[in-house]
A and B are shown apart, each in its own frame.
Chain A
Amino acid sequence: MAETTLTHTSPLDRPQGLRGIAADWASDQRAFKNVSWGKAMMWIFLLSDTFIFGCFLLSYMTARMSTRVPWPNPSEVFALRIGGQEIPLILIAIMTFVLISSSGTMAMAVNFGYRRDRRKTAILMLLTAALGATFVGMQAFEWTKLITEGVRPWGNPWGAAQFGSCFFMITGFHGTHVTIGVIFLIIVARKVWRGDFDTGRPGFFTSRRGRYENVEIMGLYWHFVDLVWVFIFAFFYLW
């Protein structure tokens, strides 16, 4: 019974549409019919994480809307001088592309995982981790640059004092998520490489056998990190 569910594209023999929602939720048992517990719990964790980032962005909005002092122009703050020319937001744009690329490689890894292609899955996951580490490195560079320019959580040279606290809080929390993701990507990639999901080797922490679905669950987390960046990019850097 524990192994009853995996995600499948073929429809269950259950009502569809709104009637399906009512039937699934009212069935007095599990509500997510064809979703394994691991995946459902990852989704629910991501939902709670959405609220955390939602509250950060919301407090940023409130701070920015309620200050009398002009907000520093992110386009100028995050500009880089390349070849004697100020290019606005260029570092952030590159970071965005790096993170999107990592999401792409992760999606490929999930795909090859379900095809039982261990080698390609592990390589793509490690590539994802490398891109994630690149992202964190660029973020460290960005932090260093801003700190040397005098940005502090309690003030900055260009305008509203709340800019620094919002910036460090939001990007710091996101960077932490990316870092944790990189660590877990390496752990799961090692498991795939060693063939743990084929031989049913017990996990070092849970002592339970893993499945290739673990790659997809890992992927959910990673795509979420990318998703959060989409919102941070839009609201903090572009707005």
Chain B
Amino acid sequence: MAEATANGLGQHALHAAHAQDAAATAAHAEVHQEHPIKLYLVVWAWLFILSTCSYLVDYFGIHGYPRWSLILIFMMLKAGLIVAVFMHMAWERLAMMYAIILPPILVLVFVTMMVFEADYTLLTRIAFFGPGP
């Protein structure tokens, strides 16, 4: 009985919370994303600069690890700017950010698996067909 009452109270509290929620969202219904245009222009300019930089990596023929790390750095910076500002992810709640951004990061596990798999395939190919034409 005591449990039932407690449950009932809990339900009431929950309903109250929901009502508050609905009221809060309704009150904000007309509020929306509006950022100064300058922000978009700055991000736009940065995307141009970063793209130019990654193109210059190829133009100047940088090779080996410096090339790969520079490409990855510029790529991640560009992707971050697009997702955060242009797609407004920076202003979303964390529940949303994690739901969308975490799964693609987990693809890195798949990448690791395929790196081993590719190395193994290459090894067997070299073993059976020789080191290549």
Asked if B82 contacts A226 (CB within 8 A), the reply is yes
Within 8 A of B (CB), among A191-231: 212-213, 216, 219-220, 223-224, 226-227, 230-231
Asked if B75 contacts A51 (CB within 8 A), the reply is no
Asked if A7 contacts B88 (CB within 8 A), the reply is yes
Asked if A62 contacts B117 (CB within 8 A), the reply is yes
CB proximity of A126 to chain B, nearest CB, Å: 18
Asked if A234 contacts B111 (CB within 8 A), the reply is no
Q: Which of A54, A103, A234 contacts B47 (CB 8 A)?
A: A103
Stretch from A64-72, A134-142, A168-176, A182-190 that touches the partner = A64-72
Closest chain A residue to B31, Cβ basis: A8
Asked if A147 is at the interface (CB within 8 A of a chain B CB), the reply is no
Asked if B71 contacts A230 (CB within 8 A), the reply is no
Contacts of B16 in A (CB 8 A): none
Q: Which of A3, A7, A108 contacts B37 (CB 8 A)?
A: A108
- Size category of the binding interface on chain A: 35 or more
Q: Which of A18, A35, A107 contacts B86 (CB 8 A)?
A: A107
How distant is the Cα of A165 from the Cα of B117 in the complex, in angstroms? 20
Asked if A31 contacts B118 (CB within 8 A), the reply is no
Within 8 A of B (CB), among A49-65: 50-51, 54, 58, 61-62, 65
Chain B interface residue count, Cβ-Cβ cutoff 8 angstroms: 71
How distant is the Cα of A88 from the Cα of B72 in the complex, in angstroms? 20
Asked if B33 contacts A114 (CB within 8 A), the reply is yes
Asked if B2 is at the interface (CB within 8 A of a chain A CB), the reply is no
Asked if B132 contacts A32 (CB within 8 A), the reply is no
Q: Which of A14, A66, A69, A115 contacts B118 (CB 8 A)?
A: A66
Asked if A54 contacts B104 (CB within 8 A), the reply is yes
How distant is the Cα of A5 from the Cα of B24 in the complex, in angstroms? 10
CB proximity of A223 to chain B, nearest CB, Å: 5
Asked if B33 contacts A7 (CB within 8 A), the reply is yes
CB proximity of B85 to chain A, nearest CB, Å: 8
Contacts of A114 in B (CB 8 A): 32-34
Asked if B29 contacts A4 (CB within 8 A), the reply is yes
Asked if B25 contacts A88 (CB within 8 A), the reply is no
CB proximity of B115 to chain A, nearest CB, Å: 7
Asked if A130 is at the interface (CB within 8 A of a chain B CB), the reply is no
How distant is the Cα of A52 from the Cα of B59 in the complex, in angstroms? 30
How distant is the Cα of A216 from the Cα of B33 in the complex, in angstroms? 9
Closest chain A residue to B83, Cβ basis: A227
Given contacts A21-B95, A108-B40, A230-B75, is CB(A62)–CB(B58) below 8 Å? no
Asked if B13 is at the interface (CB within 8 A of a chain A CB), the reply is no
**Which B residues lie at the A interface, using CB under 8 A?**
18, 20-22, 24-26, 28-35, 37, 40-41, 43-44, 47-48, 51, 54-55, 57-59, 61, 67-68, 71-72, 74-75, 78-79, 82-83, 85-88, 91-96, 98-100, 103-104, 107, 110-111, 114-115, 117-119, 121-122, 125-126, 129-133
23 examples of A-B residue contacts, CB within 8 angstroms: A3-B29, A4-B26, A5-B29, A9-B31, A13-B24, A21-B95, A40-B96, A47-B103, A47-B104, A62-B121, A65-B119, A66-B118, A66-B119, A66-B122, A68-B125, A68-B130, A93-B55, A100-B44, A107-B43, A223-B86, A231-B79, A234-B54, A238-B67
